């Protein structure tokens, strides 16, 4: 149900989900543990933010000196551009400032910057943030925000769910480093998977126990166990960090059993064994911990495998369902005959010739999204 509500949010353009401070801290610390100079001398841009109370802005402002930042830039969308069903109320921080403007607070975004000790207390932190209204509404696609993007070294944010594809393209266009939050199913997007395959994007360190908790001003219509009325947090199990900045967990190889030992001891696999797809020259691995250590051929694994993917251990070679890529046909794909296709479609109206499927009890059964991988020799 959590994933269902994430999809509802995307379809309804309900993008108001705010990240917890401890989740941001946990993720950023993973990059520092791997390379203490990750942020040294860098300009960090936090677009799609709400700087007055955003945990992204708060974390990077409070840790400005610790991270060795050169400059912090944080921008927000104008409330009028969000089309929220709730009443907008500007913060006291804004209304008590001499530059407060009743009209601009509705139709203009804001920009917060941090570069030096403005307060004179001997440290650079959140009290030294300076702000003004943007000329436009803060949309990341505007020329105003693109200019800030081009100035930045690293882009970090929780972008709108409904604009994830566009946001990633916006970052890649400028060849920037990034750490962003998205739906794990974005792995399967035709715009995203090639980046992952070519090691231009990978999953970050991750949320604790795989659970992401966000606050949201529009938290209605959630199932029991998804929204906590006491904390005001919405729980999603299908959110991940996407990045192109290295971290240590990415280079930890999986500890695996041989195929023989999996068939003997792994309860998840020994009942059905390792089955070969009817339309791909690969075997199906329904669980990441069932990957055999000694199989030399192609294997179809769940997309959640990427959370454990070690580039020194495995090669990502294709995505199940993508029979065409970069103008080349998938070398592991063999379409069924026309007679078989007609028969399979009668059995299952949602069956598609390019999706990996198994023949079980003489019937074609499509598996969930799969990534095709091989062991590196």
Q: What is the pLDDT of residue 167?
A: 97
Percentage of residues in the chain having pLDDT higher than 90: 66
Q: What is the pLDDT of residue 263?
A: 95
CB count, 10 Å around CB of 239? 26
Best-predicted range by mean pLDDT (7-11, 25-29, 364-368)? 25-29
Looking at every residue in the chain, the average pLDDT score rounds to 88
Q: What is the pLDDT of residue 1?
A: 36
Q: What is the pLDDT of residue 225?
A: 64
Q: What is the pLDDT of residue 331?
A: 87
Q: What is the pLDDT of residue 59?
A: 96
What confidence tens digit (pLDDT) does each residue in 192-221 have? 999 999 999 999 999 987 788 887 665 555
Q: What's the rounded Cα separation, in Å, for the pair 138 and 369?
A: 35
Q: What is the mean pLDDT of residues 126-139?
A: 94
pTM of the model: 0.89
Q: What is the pLDDT of residue 192?
A: 95
Residue located via tokens 């999204």:
369
Of residues 204 and 101, the one with the higher pLDDT is: 204
Cα separation values, 283 from 277, 300, 373, Å? 6, 6, 10
Question: Is pLDDT of 243 > 50?
Answer: yes
Q: What is the pLDDT of residue 87?
A: 63
Buried/exposed code over 349-369 (b: 16+ C-beta within 10 A; e: otherwise): eebeeebbbbbeeeebebbeb
Best-predicted range by mean pLDDT (77-86, 96-105, 244-253)? 244-253
Q: What is the pLDDT of residue 218?
A: 56
Contacts of 101 (CB under 8 A, 6+ apart): 108, 133
Question: Is pLDDT of 223 > 70?
Answer: no
Q: What is the pLDDT of residue 16?
A: 61
Q: What's the rounded Cα separation, in Å, for the pair 314 and 309?
A: 7
Question: Is pLDDT of 101 > 70?
Answer: yes
What confidence tens digit (pLDDT) does each residue in 26-84 have? 999 999 999 999 999 999 999 987 777 789 999 999 999 999 999 999 999 887 766 55
Q: What is the pLDDT of residue 100?
A: 84
What confidence tens digit (pLDDT) does each residue in 269-296 have? 988 899 999 999 999 999 999 999 999 9
The DSSP-derived string for 111-163 is EEEE-S-SS-SSS-SGGG-EEEE-SS---TTSHHHHHHHHH-SEEEE---GGG
């Amino acid at each position: 149900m959590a994933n269902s509500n994430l999809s509802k949010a995307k379809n309804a353009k309900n993008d108001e989900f705010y990240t917890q401070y401890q989740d941001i801290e946990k993720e950023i610390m993973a990059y520092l543990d791997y390379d203490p100079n990750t942020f040294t001398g860098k300009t960090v841009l936090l677009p799609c933010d709400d700087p007055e109370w955003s945990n992204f802005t708060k974390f990077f402002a409070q840790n400005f000196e610790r991270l060795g930042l050169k400059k912090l830039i944080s921008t927000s969308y104008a409330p009028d551009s969000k089309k929220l069903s709730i009443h907008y109320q500007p913060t006291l921080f804004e209304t008590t400032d001499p530059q407060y403007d009743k009209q601009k607070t509705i139709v203009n975004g804001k920009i917060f910057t941090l570069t030096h000790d403005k307060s004179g207390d001997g440290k650079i932190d959140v009290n030294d943030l300076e702000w003004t209204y943007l000329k436009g509404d803060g949309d990341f696609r505007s020329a105003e925000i693109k200019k800030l993007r081009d100035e930045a070294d690293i882009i970090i944010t929780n972008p709108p769910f409904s604009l994830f594809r566009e946001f990633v393209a916006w970052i890649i266009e400028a060849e920037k480093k990034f750490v962003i939050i998205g739906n794990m199913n974005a792995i399967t997007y035709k715009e995203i998977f090639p980046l992952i395959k070519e090691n231009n994007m990978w999953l970050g360190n991750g949320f604790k126990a795989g659970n992401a908790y966000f606050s949201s001003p529009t938290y209605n219509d959630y199932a029991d166990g998804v929204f906590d009325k006491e904390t005001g947090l919405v729980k999603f199990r299908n959110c991940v960090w996407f990045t192109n900045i290295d971290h240590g967990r990415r280079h930890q190889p999986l500890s695996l059993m041989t195929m023989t030992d999996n068939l003997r001891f792994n309860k998840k696999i020994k009942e059905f064994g390792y089955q070969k797809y009817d339309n791909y020259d690969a075997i199906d691995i329904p669980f990441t911990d069932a990957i055999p250590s000694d199989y030399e051929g192609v294997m179809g694994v769940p997309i959640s495998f990427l959370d454990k993917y070690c580039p020194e251990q495995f090669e990502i070679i294709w995505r199940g369902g993508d029979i065409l890529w970069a103008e080349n046909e998938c070398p592991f794909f063999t379409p069924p005959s026309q007679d078989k296709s007609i028969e399979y479609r009668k059995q299952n109206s949602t069956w598609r010739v390019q999706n990996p499927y198994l023949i079980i009890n003489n019937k074609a059964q499509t598996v969930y999204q799969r990534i095709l991988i091989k062991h590196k020799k």
